[in-house]
């Protein structure tokens, strides 16, 4: 039987990349703060709710096997009050409801901004170039480059807690720079952490299917310029990226 998956923030860019490739593969329930438009709204079960509305979130989560939690304020420059509420409190609401509803897995959209402050003046721009061997692998302590990144790191720690305390499987994906069709042009940082739409869908597909306890993985294509390791994503999830920003330079 198809697994049922709640997708929060379904109307955003990551949600779109996932649905473009996986719409037919799961029994989706789509949640967004705004009514969804387009084909997926017509063909799938959908819910309009704010992610901090505990009652609505609990109702939406009831009966699903997996939650992909993307909802939140996606702006790197978002102010504290917004990320505190939407990203930190919102993620706690989802995790708590997931445990209470006996969900198996939560896949959490974390961000490269959780570790953005590793990109110091001393390291850049070399960090974004092929010869540079510096790598982050997800075992390092977060160094957020903004308050949005702080909120994503907090979401990861919440995931760790809900895994340790309740046995929930949690995979945090530190999403890079997701763009359609081709990598950012004239932007080395974006090329280093490019995530193509199809690699994005494939990565979340693997996160739905694979067995794990608690994981932090980097969500990027196999870019020559990368400074994020893909080892955990490959080993634990079976991620096999097909794209590389170098092919577009």
For a copy of itself, the closer CB: 96 or 132: 96
Residue in 39, 164, 209, 249 binding a copy of itself, rule: CB under 8 A: 164
> Could you write out the DSSP letters of every residue in 201-237?
HHHHHHHHHS--SEEEEEE----TT--B--HHIIIII
Is 148 annotated in the active site?
yes
93: nearest Cα among 80, 106, 104, 76: 106
Query: Going residue by residue from 195 to 234, which x/- string records binding to a copy of itself, judged by CB under 8 A?
Result: ---------------------x------------------
Q: Residues near 245 by Cβ (< 8 Å), separated by ≥ 6?
A: 183, 191, 192, 194, 221, 223, 224, 225
Asked if 96 touches a copy of itself (CB under 8 A), the answer is yes
Asked if 161 touches a copy of itself (CB under 8 A), the answer is yes
How many residues sit close enough to a copy of itself to count as binding (CB under 8 A)?
A: 26
Asked if 94 touches a copy of itself (CB under 8 A), the answer is no
Asked if 99 touches a copy of itself (CB under 8 A), the answer is no
> Per residue in 209-220, is it b (16+ CB within 10 Å) or e — as a string?
ebeeebbbbbbb
> Per residue in 159-179, is it b (16+ CB within 10 Å) or e — as a string?
beebbeeeebbbbbbbbbbbb
If phi > 0 it is left, if psi is from -120 to 50 it is alpha, else beta; for residue 121 that is: alpha
Asked if 136 touches a copy of itself (CB under 8 A), the answer is no
Asked if 142 touches a copy of itself (CB under 8 A), the answer is yes
Q: Is 128 annotated as a binding residue?
A: no
Point out which span in 57-65, 145-153, 200-208, 228-236 binds a copy of itself (CB under 8 A).
Answer: 145-153
Q: Residues near 63 by Cβ (< 8 Å), separated by ≥ 6?
A: 4, 101
Start-to-end C-alpha separation, the chain: 43
Residue in 23, 41, 84, 236 binding a copy of itself, rule: CB under 8 A: 84
Tell me which of 26, 40, 148, 197 is the catalytic residue: 148
For a copy of itself, the closer CB: 88 or 208: 88
Give the residue numbers marked as catalytic. 148
Binding residues for NAD(+): 86, 111, 148, 152
Binding site for a copy of itself (CB under 8 A): 80, 84, 88-89, 92, 96, 117, 139, 141-147, 149-150, 153-154, 157-158, 160-161, 164-165, 216
């Amino acid at each position: 039987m198809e697994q049922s998956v709640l997708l929060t923030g379904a109307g955003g860019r990551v949600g779109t990349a996932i649905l473009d490739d996986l719409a037919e593969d799961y029994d989706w329930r789509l949640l967004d703060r705004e009514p969804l438009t387009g084909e997926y709204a017509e063909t799938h079960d959908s819910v309009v709710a704010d992610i901090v509305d505990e009652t609505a979130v609990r109702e939406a989560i009831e009966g699903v096997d997996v939650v992909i939690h993307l909802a939140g304020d996606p702006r790197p420059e978002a102010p504290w009050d917004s990320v505190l509420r939407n990203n930190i409190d919102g993620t706690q609401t989802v995790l708590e409801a997931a445990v209470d509803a006996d969900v198996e897995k939560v896949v959490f959209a974390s961000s490269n901004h959780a570790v953005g402050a590793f990109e110091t003046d001393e390291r850049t721009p070399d960090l974004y170039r092929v010869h540079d061997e510096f790598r982050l692998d997800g075992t390092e302590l977060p160094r957020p480059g903004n308050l949005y990144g702080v909120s994503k790191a907090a979401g990861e720690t919440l995931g760790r807690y809900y895994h340790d305390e309740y046995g929930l499987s949690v995979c945090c994906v530190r999403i890079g720079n997701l763009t359609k069709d081709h990598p950012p042009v004239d932007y080395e940082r974006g090329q280093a952490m490019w995530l193509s739409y199809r690699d994005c869908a494939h990565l979340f597909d693997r996160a739905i299917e694979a067995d794990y306890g608690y994981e932090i993985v980097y969500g990027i294509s196999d870019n020559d310029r990368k400074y994020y390791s893909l080892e955990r994503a490959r080993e634990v999830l079976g991620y096999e990226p097909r794209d590389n920003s170098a092919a577009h330079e």
